[in-house]
Structure 1
Amino acid sequence: MTGITAYSPELSSDPASPVRPSFAESPIGEEVNWREHSAGLDATALRSRHVPVSRWIRADNGPLEVTHDGHDAHHCIGLSLRSLNCTFQSAGRLIVQGRVAAGAVQITAPRVPVNATFESASDVLHLFVPQGVLADCHQDLFGRAHNGDIVLSDPRLITDTTMERLGQALAMAHTQDPSLGRLFIDSVSLAIVSRLVSNHFNRVATQSRHVSGLPAWRLRRVVEYIDAHLSEAIGLADIAESAGLTRMHFAAQFRLATGLRPHEYLLRRRIEHAQDLLRDDKGSVLDVALRCGFRSQAHFTTVFRRFVGDTPYRWRSKVAVTG
């Protein structure tokens, strides 16, 4: 029941079996074993300051018992995207027995064993949070480093409207556009973690801190970095690092400076670059898609139509005719 899972464009209390979205291109991994990310949580993932996300879907309404010994170095955050019935224990302590509402969040600290018995269909997305991400969030929220490791130790269920809406954003992204890039998933996941860290320390420092837009020299550096890496899978941490800022500082300042979220700006630049290639290059649409950082022609076509109003092939044909 730790977990976040995308069921429909909204968090759902519908008792019907959850619809399984595509995992083929999504940064959200399909979770086969409860609370285990499909790609694994190795030392590389721990050092990357990236929040891996996976989705656990169960369509069966019969009882299912599951256990997990806890991760060595990651907190496990779960946000239920549909209402469900279960019994859940953390380190032998009964947390819930009965109905869990859609949008409920549960946090399990590293090395804490948990077990659950699910009595209904379930749809859960798990966020696996390394210590470095918690430290970054604390630094951004409170303007200072935390002394020692941060442990979010309260295993009780949390209901929070802001986190529920963030869960809805992940659900819509996964259900409606499973190939949406890592940058968007990173941004929403980081917002969820930041909210939990803020709540844990009983402060909402972001509301009282003055945020100004990116200085021109930082913005220029970011634009140059994005343009040089359009064909690559760029994450929010990568772009923030190019500006010499942490992710939370960067995202807010970038939006003030440009009016766009980082992932929106990145998509727009990729489409602008694609238009240049389609106009001047004889390569296939698939080749253009790959050179602009899209992992498939289908995803490229979807995003291109969203920005331009036509498919890449038809747009190229019209440009060729009009000169």
Structure 2
Amino acid sequence: MAQYMPSEHLALPQRPGLQDVVLQLFKHHSITEPVLVPAVAEPLLVMVLAGSAIVEERALGGEWESAEVNVGDFYLTSTDLPYEMRWQTRGGETFEVMHLYLAHSLLDQASRDVWGSQAGPVSFLDISGGQDELVRMLLEQLRLELVERHEPSPLFVHSLAQALTVHLIRTYRDPHATTRRSNALQAYKLRRVIDMMNARLAEDFSLAQLAEAAQLSEYHFSRLFKRATGVSPSQYFIRLRMARARQLLLDTDQSVIDIGMEVGYSSPSHFSQVFRREVGVTPSAYRSPGRARGSVV
């Protein structure tokens, strides 16, 4: 999930009833700004679908660590804190990745199956740029079923996710971890509220509506959202507005005033003030002739 949405987040059809897994697809171009990976309740798998790139990771405010990755390579993480990733593709290629979150209900079931009475909280080793043919095959099958099928089979999706989870527990379980996050925002709830934010950029921010969508109190929702993303819901909403404005400034000929109104600012001066605070330059300067139309920054 992109904090500043620097990449193309490929829209997927809603799949009611499929909450055991949350799948997202991203397409990245030559150079991107950091992508925020939220610290949600579920572990995250990231697999490279196309292209190759130098991938860098860091804790918020930390030092970058880099690795070269290619098609089929994967990342596995269950961090308690949000962190950042960024990519530089090889040879100007498009770099496509999929994100998959696995529900704790799957982890608990797989843990009991593998460990029986010795089953306990499950945490995983951090894997960066790993290679595992079974992980690759199962993730690809999940992608095909959830993306390509007009009506995916919940039973088939659940079976694939179960097989994947058992393999991860057998192969990548952290034997030294004794605890697991129990008080974190679930990935499907985070996706739901961010989708709602994106659909309502022109409207006033409403914490009450977002909390209701997440089925949480406003206080509890705000706390868990900030824990997941590192910023408050209102600040995240502003950043989504600015990301949309940046896209419109680069990819359309709409006036700055119209763009400001499209992302919720009826006052051009207020829009310019917020844009400059968040991006570092005014909207007009951001759209200067020196910037290549359609470039990703």
Q: TM-score, with normalisation over the residues of structure 2?
A: 0.46
Higher radius of gyration, 1 or 2:
1
